[in-house]
Structure 1
């Protein structure tokens, strides 16, 4: 694999570079699913404690993002969509990123344990370690199944939010975990199809790079089916009401339709991958809508 050494920083990093290390765009969905997991729980936290728990989820996600960028500075420098990040762009040294990531990790876990309970703190710690050690260090550069197994890291927030409120892991948050876990492959494979040249240049064995676009499109469709089942399941199981059920069915059908369009597409160049771009964009909206309806359903039934 070709590697590139990040340029030596010529200016001290400012606060915006440290914010960029936390991957704030990714963090929005993490925080939202964690918040919805907490609000859907049968136990209500004091507003100050609830805010603290969500802050801990955000800080933990930011810590994982910082450590991911610390470890992947070499391949980030080779990809167009990541070359402007603080480390490959030379605005920050790797030691600062490492210390920042470790410090945020420890602080977020300790604060979660002290503010809510140690079970939630344990899951938060596990999510950080899973993202950094299992996905980033072990899987990402070694196997095209990286995003399948590594997707568990992004599925923890609703479970953490629920655990912060209840101190337990119950069927509903476990189903939400399964939903995000199964959602992750079609979401990221849709992205990787139209940026696969970046991954190929960096030597990252994403599925479109090692198995081709056709096989990736088949896998997107195959993963969409159990994802839709996990999304709808809380309704027939009596864990959510008809409002959530109707939204889950409707939006899962749209997701499936977009996945079928991706499956039917034969384009090999990014310019012809409109269905993939549409699926990627809709997949983000999909989780926001479903988790939002889950909370709305609980409020209306209360």
Structure 2
């Protein structure tokens, strides 16, 4: 039998030599790594409550609006100040939404892992965190940007937390239609940050996002229909047939396209934006029509509601890019 060999092990108090493997990690470095891990463990759940991906989508619409309002590049400081204030405000609204909805979040598979649903963050801690974020955001925007932007931001938080979460969400299938107005506010905030007021182009951009919201959110509600039904939330796909939902999505999409094209004369956009906005609108409209045709006749294929959800995000992102580029075209 082959004799076994063992590697030499250094004494606890001895330093390892190059021939005995990698040097032991200094005690100070290990303590710092452990402390950092503990901090991340505490901070990460709070970050989750702010719904970072939702914040990203909201901020995507703010920068193009600021570019349009300025007719070029606003000052970098103003852009950063507006984005910071907007992110804090959106985070506040999302945290307060999680605090209020923690009971139904426990029922829904999509949300049951939220820290307020699992108990990882206590209701009191979540409420305090949300209120502090809101107070900081409004104070920041008032002092660093302007009072108009701060007041519009306060309105956005109230619409989402009180209007949508507390009043509409559990009572009416029109919850996301009117409650979705909160998600339209970043364009008004971005415009007012540059101009100190609200102009017609900002109102039309508000309309684009307002009419975009139902065909964006209802496909998600279709996918999680059973979740919403179990939680007692009357999203339209829960209480209506898919054909009715798809028809309403088409109606809202047509209104969205109209607002996007009215921006051409209202903001002096070029033919480049007009062509891109028309093409994007037609593409997204066809996605909604395809959803309706499959709802009417399952033989045409699976409903694939989530493909419309993802298409809506692509639409809004590319339209925002088109607005940003058009501002700098020399004709």
Common topology (TM > 0.5): yes
Residue of structure 1 aligned with 2:160, choices 131, 136, 146: 131
> Is contact 1:30-1:154 (8 Å) kept?
yes
- Does residue 20 (structure 1) correspond to residue 51 (structure 2)? The answer is no
TM-score for both structures, normalised by structure 1: 0.91
Distance in 2 separating the partners of 1:239 and 1:75: 46
- Does residue 272 (structure 1) correspond to residue 302 (structure 2)? The answer is yes
Instruction: Report Cα offsets for 1:59-112 as digits up to 9, x if no partner.
Output: 101110000000000011111111111111221101111111110111101100
Question: Larger Rg: 1 or 2?
Answer: 2
SS at match of 2:183: helix
Structure 2 gap segments, 5+ residues each: 1-39
RMSD: 1.7
> Is contact 2:60-2:317 (8 Å) kept?
yes
- Does residue 55 (structure 1) correspond to residue 89 (structure 2)? The answer is no
SS at match of 1:143: coil
1:207-246 paired onto structure 2 within 5 Å: 207-246=236-275
| Matching residue of 2:323 | 294
> How far off is 1:294 after superposition?
0.4
SS at match of 1:14: helix
| Matching residue of 1:66 | 95
1:61-140 paired onto structure 2 within 5 Å: 61-140=90-169
TM-score for both structures, normalised by structure 2: 0.83
- Number of residue equivalences: 288
Instruction: Report Cα offsets for 1:252-300 as digits up to 9, x if no partner.
Output: 00011001001111278xx9321x2111101001111101110110022
Structure 1 gap segments, 5+ residues each: 1-11
| Matching residue of 2:197 | 168
Pair 1:13–1:72, CA change in 2 (3 A): farther
Residue of structure 2 aligned with 1:148, choices 134, 156, 177: 177
> How far off is 1:213 after superposition?
1.8
